[in-house]
Structure 1
Amino acid sequence: MEIIIALISAGSAIAVCMINNAYQAKKVQAQHDETIALIKYQIAELSDRVDKHNNLIERTYKLEQKAAVYEEKISVANHRIDDLENKEG
């Protein structure tokens, strides 16, 4: 009789442990899913920011190229003015 009671108690304890483990596994999986969703969102936001930054760098580079061309044009114009002033003077 005592053996039967011990087996029933052990079976009940095992059943409770299995139910608890299943609940904990579901809870952990839900937390993992939430964390994964947050990481995906953060990566998407970071990708957008990187794209905007890269676009800004490209535009800045183009502006610097144009500025260099204008500086060269101004330098050439100044040399022409100097040459004309030297011819007249």
Structure 2
Amino acid sequence: MDTEVIVAVIAFVGTLIGSYFANSKTTAVMQEQIKSIKEDINTLSTRVDKHNNLVERMAKVEDSAKSAHHRITELSEWGGNK
């Protein structure tokens, strides 16, 4: 009976050690994946910032072009009335 208890305790300890190392490896892999995802998010954030800057600049260009077209129209009408 003592031998069975000793074998059970050794098996239990082995299971605990195996579980610990398996969980440690899984945790390390997950941390690496999280790190990679964070880098991807930072890259995407930078791209979104650049895109938003481009959108703002294009809006200003469109407003400027619209004003220029109005001035050209006014000048051509003014020149045609002479």
TM-score bracket, normalised by the shorter chain, equals over 0.9
1:46 to partner: Cα distance = 0.5
RMSD: 0.6
Per the normalisation by structure 2, the TM-score is: 0.97
Is structure 2 residue 34 aligned with structure 1 residue 36? yes
Q: What runs of 5+ residues in structure 1 fail to find an aligned partner? A: 85-89
1:13-56 deviations in whole A, cap 9, x for unaligned?
Answer: 10110010000110011011101101110110010000000000
Counterparts of residues 6-85 of structure 1 (less than 5 Å): 6-84=4-82
1:81 to partner: Cα distance = 1.4
Per the normalisation by structure 1, the TM-score is: 0.90
- Identity score, percent: 33
How many residue pairs match? The answer is 82
In 1: Cα distance, 2:36 partner to 2:54 partner: 27
Structure number with greater Rg is 1
In 2: Cα distance, 1:10 partner to 1:83 partner: 107
Q: What runs of 5+ residues in structure 2 fail to find an aligned partner? A: none
In 2: Cα distance, 1:82 partner to 1:24 partner: 86
Divergent runs of 4+, >4 A: none
